[in-house]
């Protein structure tokens, strides 16, 4: 049953997140390691804050959504406009960790 849930969109855990969103403090904590040791510019900080707000309201954030509104209002061609490859990899890792906590193992 759990395997079927993972294969079909994450099951109940993902559904609950989509319906209720995530606690802002929990999302902030997930991004704390990314922010630590980085001096983000104003546009980069707004992009990360938009990611946090999106996760808070929607409970999930697929990488592909970073190339759609509201993110394209900050980075029209996607996050590559604002972040280097290493920082992009780190942001994707944060999103993957958040997603992994919604899917039972």
Do residues 34 and 90 touch, judged by C-beta distance below 8 A?
yes
* Positions in the chain short of pLDDT 70: 1-22, 102-105
pTM reported for the whole predicted model: 0.78
First vs last C-alpha separation in the chain:
11
What share of the chain in percent tops pLDDT 70? 75
Identify the pLDDT of residue 85: 96
Q: Cα dihedral sign for 95, 100, 101, 102? A: positive
The C-alpha atoms of residue 75 and residue 67 are separated, in whole angstroms, by 8
């Amino acid at each position: 049953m759990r395997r079927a849930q993972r294969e079909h969109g994450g099951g109940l855990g993902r559904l609950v997140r989509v319906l209720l969103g995530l606690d802002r403090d929990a999302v902030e904590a997930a991004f704390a390691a990314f922010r630590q040791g980085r001096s983000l510019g104003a546009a980069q900080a707004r992009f990360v804050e938009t990611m946090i707000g999106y996760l808070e309201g929607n409970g999930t954030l697929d990488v592909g959504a970073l190339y759609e509104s509201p993110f394209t209002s900050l980075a029209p061609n996607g996050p590559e406009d604002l972040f280097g490859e290493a920082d992009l990899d780190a942001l994707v890792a944060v999103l993957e960790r958040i997603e992994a906590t919604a899917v039972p193992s």
